[in-house]
Amino acid sequence: MTTIPAEYGLVLASVLFMLGLISLLIRRNIVFMLISVEIMLNAAGLAFIVAGAKWSQPDGQVMFLFILTMAAAEVSVGLALILQIYHQLKTLNSDEASKMKG
Amino acid sequence: MSKQDLLSIMPLFILTSAAILILFSISIKRNHKVIFGITIFSLLADFIFLSVVKTPVSWIVEPLFVFDGFGKFNLGLLLLTALSLAMLSYAYFEQREERKEEYYILLILATLGACTLTISKHFISLFLGLEILSVSLYSMIAYLRKRERSDEGGIKYLIIAACSSAFLLFGMALIYYVTGSMEFASIGVYLSALHELPIIMIAGFGFLIVGIGFKLGIVPFHMWTADVYEGAPLPVTSFLATVSKGGVVALLVRFYTQVNGHQHDSIVGTFTVLVIASMFVGNFLALQQQNVKRLLAYSSISHLGYILVAFIAGGQLGLEAVSFYLVAYFITTVGAFGILTYLSDKDRDAELLVDFKGLFWRRPWTATSFSAMLLSLAGIPLTAGFVGKFYIVAAGVSSSTWLLVTMLIVNSAIGLFYYIRIIAIMCEKEHIEVQTQVELTPSIYLISGFSVAVLTIALLWVGVFPDELIALIQSMLNP
C-alpha cells in the first residue's frame, strides 16, 4: 500500500484556507462570514494534522482538538451577537448593519 | 509537577480561581460591591504574590511556560493595569442599567489570557492565551447590549480576530511542518543551522506576521481599530489598547529573540516597512478625527509603531526600552481613558471634541490631569512619555537604525498637533448654548477620581525621576 505524500495534504489545506478567505471577503451575510471563518480555522487544523503525521507526533492532533474547542466557543459568542444584531437592526447584511465608517 | 512548578504558575491559578469564585458568588446573590471587592482583592493579591514570593531567576515549566525576569515584569505590569481598569470600571458600570457583575469575570479571564501570553514559550500556550483573551474580549466589547454600536463593534472584532487567529494557526502549522517542533527555542535552533529560509518557512512567518499584526492593530491590519474602540464601553476600550496589546507585544518580543529574527533580513525588512507605515498612517488619520475615542485609537496605532522601533533595534537596550515604553504608555492610556470614563454620563460616553469645550473653566483639576496625559502621549519633557521616547531613540541610535529613528522623530512632531488641539479646545471659553448641556458627572465617581489622580502622579513621577523605574527594569531583565 502506498502512502499519500504529506505535501498533498498541505496543498489541500491551503486550498481550503484560500476558499474560506475568499468567501469571507465576498460574502455579505454575517452568518456566512462566520461559516467562512470556520472553514479557515479547520483548514489550519488540517494543516496541523498533516504536519503531525509527517513527524509522526501526536502534537498536531492535540492542537486540532484545541482549535476545535476554541472554534466552538467562538461560534457560541458569535451566534449570540448575531441574534442580538438581527433583533435590533432586522438585517444580517453586514453593509447595512455597519453604521460606523472607519 | 514539582513544588517550584506549582509556585511559578500560581499567579495564573489565582486568576482562574478568582473567576470561578465570582461565578459562584453571582449565582448566590448579585451584588456589584461584593464582586468588585473580590476582583480588586484577587488582582492585588496576585500582584503581591508575584512581587513577594521568591522564585528562581529563570524557571521553565516544560514544555509550555518560562518564568524569567522579562516575563515576570510584564506579568506584574499587566496585573497592575487590570487592577486600575477594574477600579475605573466600577463607577462606569454602576450607572448602566444592565447586569454588570459578569463583566468582572470577563475582565479577569481576559487578563489571564494576556498573562499566559507573556510567559509562553510554545505554540500551544501561545494559542490558548490568545484565545482566552480574544473570546473574553468579544463579549466585553458587546457588553452594553442596549447600545446600538456595541453589537456592531463586537461582531466586527469577532470576525476580524477569528480570521487573524486562522492566519496565525496556519502559519504555526507551516512552521511546525518544516521544523517538527512547536517550541520557540527549538525552532530557533533549527533556523540557526540554515543560511536561507525555505519557502514554506517564509510563508509560515508571513502568516504569523499577519495574525500578530491584526492583534496589535498595526498598519495595514488596522482597519478594525477605530470602529471597535468607538463601539466598546470605555473601560473595555482602554483594556483593548493596553492589556491586550501589551500581552501580544511581550509574546512577539520573546518569539523574535528566541528564533533569532535579527539574522533574517526578510523578517527585519518586513517589520521595518510595517512600523514606518503604522507611525505615519496612525498619525495622519488621527489628525482628522472629531471623536476622542477614535483619535486615541489611531494614536495607539502610531504608539505601537514607536514600541516596535525599539523592538527592531533589539539587544539589551531595546528590550529595556520596550519595557519602559510599555509602562509609560500604559499609565498614560489608562489615565486618558479613565478621564473619559470620569466625564461620561448615563446615556453616552464623553467622546466628542465638543464635550471637552471649556473643560478648564468647568473642572480645572480634571482638565489639568487630562492635559498631562495628552502631553505625555505627545512626548513632552517632564512626562513619562518623553523618557520612554528618549529611551527608544537611544536604543535605535545604539543599533544604528537611523531610518526608523528619523521617522519616529518626524512622527512625534506630527502627533504633537492633534494632542495640543484637544488641550486648546479645553481652554476655549464656553458659549452660552454649550452651557445648557447637562453636567456630565454624578458623585459616585470617587474611586475613579482617586485612580486617575494616582495615575497622574505616577506619570509625573516617572517623568521627573525615571531612575528608579529604569533600575527596576534593569535588575529584572539582567539578573
Q: What percent of chain B has pLDDT over 90?
A: 62
Yes or no, beta carbons of A99 and B149 under 8 Å apart: yes
For chain B, say whether A76 makes contact (Cβ under 8 Å): no
Indicate whether A79 belongs to any domain. yes
Alpha helices in B29-147, H assignment, sequence order: 32-52, 69-95, 102-118, 123-141
For chain A, say whether B23 makes contact (Cβ under 8 Å): no
Interval B108-166: pLDDT, tens: 999 999 999 999 999 999 999 999 999 999 999 999 888 878 888 999 999 999 999 99
Indicate whether A55 belongs to any domain. yes
Q: What is the DSSP string of B217-273?
A: T-TTS-HHHHHHHHHS-HHHHHHIIIIIHHHHHHHHHHHHHHTTGGG-HHHHHHHHH
Yes or no, beta carbons of A78 and B169 under 8 Å apart: no
Domain carrying residue A81:
29-91
> What cell was used for B214?
491584526
**Least confident stretch, A13-27, B89-103, B242-256, B287-301:** B89-103
pLDDT score of A59 more than 80? yes
CA distance B380 to B419: 11
Q: How far is B441 from chain A (nearest CA, A)?
A: 27
DSSP, res B60 = E
What is the dihedral angle through the alpha carbons of A86, A89, A92, A98, rounded to the nearest 10 degrees? -130
pLDDT of residue B48: 94
Question: Which chain A residues are closer than 8 Å to B131 by Cβ?
Answer: 70, 73-74
Indicate whether B149 belongs to any domain. no
Most A CBs within 10 A among B139, B147, B151, hence the mutation to make, goes to: B151
- Residue with the larger pLDDT of the pair B265 and B84: B84
Q: How far is A3 from chain B (nearest CA, A)?
A: 17
Q: Treating both helix axes as pointing N-terminal to C-terminal, what angle do B199-216 and B265-287 enclose, rounded to 10 degrees? A: 20
pLDDT score of A44 more than 70? yes
ipTM of this model? 0.95
CA distance B386 to B325: 9
Q: How far is A4 from chain B (nearest CA, A)?
A: 16
pLDDT of residue B479: 67
Indicate whether B286 belongs to any domain. yes
Indicate whether B332 belongs to any domain. yes
* Nearest Cβ partner for B152 among A21, A43, A98: A98
- Mean pLDDT in residue range A53-70: 93
For chain A, say whether B145 makes contact (Cβ under 8 Å): yes
Yes or no, beta carbons of B224 and A102 under 8 Å apart: yes
Domain carrying residue B410:
264-479
The enclosing domain of A71 has a CATH number of 1.10.287.3510
Q: In degrees rounded to 5, what are phi and psi of residue A28?
A: -115, -5
Indicate whether B336 belongs to any domain. yes
Question: Which chain B residues are closer than 8 Å to A66 by Cβ?
Answer: 124, 127-128
Q: How far is CA B376 from the centre of its chain?
A: 16
Indicate whether A38 belongs to any domain. yes
pLDDT score of B46 more than 50? yes
Indicate whether B369 belongs to any domain. yes
Q: Give the model's confidence band at B453: pLDDT under 50 very low, under 70 low, under 90 confident, else very high.
A: very high
pLDDT of residue B313: 87
Question: Which chain A residues are closer than 8 Å to B169 by Cβ?
Answer: 41, 44-45, 47-48, 67
Most A CBs within 10 A among B98, B163, B289, B290, hence the mutation to make, goes to: B163
Q: How far is B180 from chain A (nearest CA, A)?
A: 6
Indicate whether A57 belongs to any domain. yes
Query: Whose CA is closest to B145, among B112, B111, B105, B102?
Result: B102
Q: Treating both helix axes as pointing N-terminal to C-terminal, what angle do B292-313 and B245-258 enclose, rounded to 10 degrees? A: 20
Q: Give chain B's mean pLDDT.
A: 89
pLDDT of residue B63: 85
- Residue with the larger pLDDT of the pair B134 and B433: B134
> What cell was used for B86?
477594574
pLDDT of residue B437: 46
Indicate whether A39 belongs to any domain. yes
pLDDT score of B432 more than 50? no
Indicate whether A59 belongs to any domain. yes
Indicate whether A69 belongs to any domain. yes
CB contacts under 8 A, A 1-60 vs B, are 6, 10, 13, 17, 20-21, 24, 30, 33-34, 37, 40-41, 43-45, 47-48, 50-52, 54-55, 57, 59-60
Number of domains forming the structure of chain B: 1
CA distance B432 to B414: 33
For chain A, say whether B183 makes contact (Cβ under 8 Å): no
Indicate whether B175 belongs to any domain. no
pLDDT score of A73 more than 90? yes
CA distance B175 to B191: 11
CA distance B464 to B478: 24
pLDDT score of B35 more than 60? yes
SS3 B66: strand
Where residue B389 falls (left for φ over 0; alpha for ψ -120 to 50; beta otherwise) is: alpha
Indicate the length of chain B as a whole number: 479
pLDDT of residue B150: 87
The residues pairing with B67 across neighbouring beta strands, listed in sequence order, are B59
pLDDT of residue B351: 81
pLDDT of residue B435: 46
Q: What is the DSSP string of B5-23?
A: HHHHTHHHHHHHHHHHHHH
* Nearest Cβ partner for A51 among B149, B154, B173: B173
The answer to whether the CB of B144 falls within 8 A of the CB of B150 is yes
The answer to whether the CB of B213 falls within 8 A of the CB of B168 is no
- Residue with the larger pLDDT of the pair A52 and B4: A52
pLDDT score of A32 more than 70? yes
- Is-cis flag, bond preceding B220, omega within 30? yes
Long-range contacts of B402-408 (CB under 8 A, 24+ apart): B403/B272, B403/B276, B404/B272, B404/B275, B404/B276, B404/B309, B404/B312, B404/B313, B405/B309, B407/B275, B407/B276, B407/B279, B407/B280, B407/B309, B408/B279, B408/B305, B408/B306, B408/B309
Indicate whether B424 belongs to any domain. yes
Question: Which chain B residues are closer than 8 Å to A102 by Cβ?
Answer: 223-227, 230, 294
Number of domains forming the structure of chain A: 1
For chain A, say whether B174 makes contact (Cβ under 8 Å): yes
Question: Which chain A residues are closer than 8 Å to B230 by Cβ?
Answer: 100, 102
Q: How far is B173 from chain A (nearest CA, A)?
A: 5
CA distance A77 to A12: 29
pLDDT score of B262 more than 90? no
SS3 B101: coil
Q: Give the model's confidence band at B400: pLDDT under 50 very low, under 70 low, under 90 confident, else very high.
A: confident
* Alpha-carbon distances, residue B86 vs A51, A58, B320 (angstroms): 42, 41, 27
Comparing alpha-carbon positions, the chain A residue that sits nearest to B231 is A100
Question: Which chain B residues are closer than 8 Å to A52 by Cβ?
Answer: 176
Indicate whether B110 belongs to any domain. no
Comparing alpha-carbon positions, the chain B residue that sits nearest to A74 is B135
The answer to whether the CB of B329 falls within 8 A of the CB of B238 is no
